Every structure is written in structure tokens, then in C-alpha cells.
Amino acid sequence: MKSNTILYGLLSLFILVSLSSCRKSYSAGDWDILPEKETPNPIDSGSNAPTKTLKVMSVNMRLSTIPDFATMITYIKEYSPDLLFLRQIDSATTRVEKVNRPQVMADSLGMEVFFKKNFDYQTGGFGNAVLSKFPIKEKVAQILRREDGNTAELRSAVMIRVEVEKDHDVYFAGTELDPSVVNNRNLQVVDLLNMTEKITEPVILVGNFNEQESANGQVLSYLKGSFTFACLGAGCPMNSPKASPTGIYDYITFKGAGGKLALSNYLAFPKSANTFLPMTASFKLKIEQ
């Protein structure tokens, strides 16, 4: 009897060791599958609730030559985002031959577009655009604050509400904050929080916040109070300079609205027509019947 007890004990220990050795390990660079701890409020896999996949992309559109625009369209088509943010994009300026680039991009991708001009430039404007494959139901734009008397380049935030499925809306917003004046950035992040704080539907906020996590600055600290950064603390994928990235200049963040939105993956897209690699993420939106 005693020998049987010992045998059963050894067998149980062998099974536990075998199971442990089969578990998948994760590394900070494995962006196709993120650790569960980095995706708060995941959709309950046992609920049998249907979900809708949303592919998101954030792209810097400051391009050096006219042909670079066509190249960037090709790269974006390759990823085929459902929601796309274009920062630093020209519209109808002479340096882009008066082409309405946000609209051309939308037409090429089969998307709807909302462009916000940060300021007049040449014969057109320079600013940010958000695009969607889903119907746009609402458009919001705001020029972000600067310190009194400060003459830094104007920055904007653009946001749309899209209907992913009937009675299932998502807000998608993008921005680029001041890269050089810290106090301007601190004011601008408060503007972002004020824009989104009362929204009860899922919100995806993307763009260049012009602050690295290592700086321990107020911008990321404030945003982390309201939005989930899936990569912070685990090693966000760097995206510039393209040849050998050393910094993060596009983030993708979200608020899941009580578990309605969950992150699937997060990575830098490997192709770009400028020095910034686009940032991408996939989400699953819970479709409640």
C-alpha cells in the first residue's frame, strides 16, 4: 500500500512538470501574442459572444517626394486597416501639387475620411486625418492649447464615431502633441482627456504623444489614468528611425468600456516611405445581441 502511494506521488509530479514545460513563453518582442496581463478587461472567451475584429494603423505622412505618397498608399493597402490615422498630412498645398491627399488616400482605400487643418499652408492646409471603413456617424476636432504667448506649431486632435455594427459604435481619435515644449504637451494631454472622458462607448486613441516612457513625464502618466497602453512596461515596439529604431513615436491606446474591446496584437509595420514605421494593432469588439 505504501509503495502504491509513493508511485502515485511520483506520477503526479511527472505530470505537473510535463505540463509546465509545455506552456508557451512570451518575450517583450513577441508582438503577435501579448501576455494576458497586458490586455486588461479581456472579452470572456467562454461567453460565446460574437466579436468583430478591428485593424488599426497610425502613420506619419511627412514625405520627402511626390512618389513617396503612392508608395505609402501601397504599404497601407498591404496592411488594410479598418481605422487609419494620418498625422502631418498635406491637403491641397503646392508642395504636393495641390492634391487633396486625405481624400485621395480615402478613395484609394475605400474609406471615409475626416481631415482637420492645423494651420493654413501655401494653397491648402497641414494637419491630421482619421479614416474608417465603417460609416462615420460623428466628427469632432479641436486645436490643442499652447502656453499663453507661445508660438509653437499648432497641433490638433481629430475624432470620429463609427458604426461597426448596428448599435455598436467605436470612437477613434488621433493626435500629435508638441515635440519641443513640455508645458504645451502637458496642456494638450488634458485637452485629450477632456475630449474623451464622458464617452461611454469604446475609444481608441492613437498618435505621437512625443514622450518616451523612460522620461517619466506627465503626458503618459496622465493618459495611463484613463487609457490602456498594452505595451508599457513590457517594451513597446520602437518605430523610428526606420533603419534601426531607437524611439517610440506612435502609440495605440484604448478604453474598453467594461470589457467590450480587447487587444489581440500590437506591432510596428515593417514598411514605410519615410523614416517612421507605422504602428498597428488588432482589437476584438464584443457584439452583444
Quote the pLDDT of residue 47.
Answer: 59
Residues whose CB is less than 8 angstroms from the CB of residue 174 and which lie 6 or more positions away in sequence, other chains included: 58, 85, 86, 87, 128, 130, 157, 158, 159, 205, 206, 207
Q: Give residue 119's Cα distance to chain centre.
A: 24
Report CA torsion sign: 228, 230, 232, 238: negative
The answer to whether 200 and 183 are in contact (CB under 8 A) is no
Spell out the per-residue pLDDT of the chain, length 289, in tens. 444 444 444 444 443 334 333 333 322 223 232 222 334 445 544 457 799 999 999 999 999 999 999 999 999 999 999 999 999 999 999 999 999 999 999 999 999 999 999 999 999 999 999 999 999 999 999 999 999 999 999 999 999 999 999 999 999 999 999 999 999 999 999 999 999 999 999 999 999 999 999 899 999 999 999 999 978 877 789 999 999 999 999 999 999 989 999 999 999 999 999 999 999 999 999 998 7
Per the listing, cell 485637452 goes with 191
Per the listing, cell 499648432 goes with 154
The answer to whether 170 and 54 are in contact (CB under 8 A) is yes
Which of 180, 160, 74, 146 lies closest to 113 in space, CA to CA? 160
The answer to whether 277 and 247 are in contact (CB under 8 A) is no
Phi/psi class of residue 274: alpha, beta or left (left: φ > 0; alpha: ψ in -120 to 50)?
beta
Quote the pLDDT of residue 33.
Answer: 27
Quote the pLDDT of residue 288.
Answer: 85
| Angle in degrees, CA 98, 101, 102, rounded to 5 | 140
Strand-by-strand arrangement of the 261-268 sheet: 112-121, 124-132, 83-91, 51-60, 279-286, 261-268
Domains defined for the chain, CATH in brackets: 49-284 (3.60.10.10)
Which of 248, 198, 196, 200 lies closest to 227 in space, CA to CA? 196
The answer to whether 206 and 174 are in contact (CB under 8 A) is yes
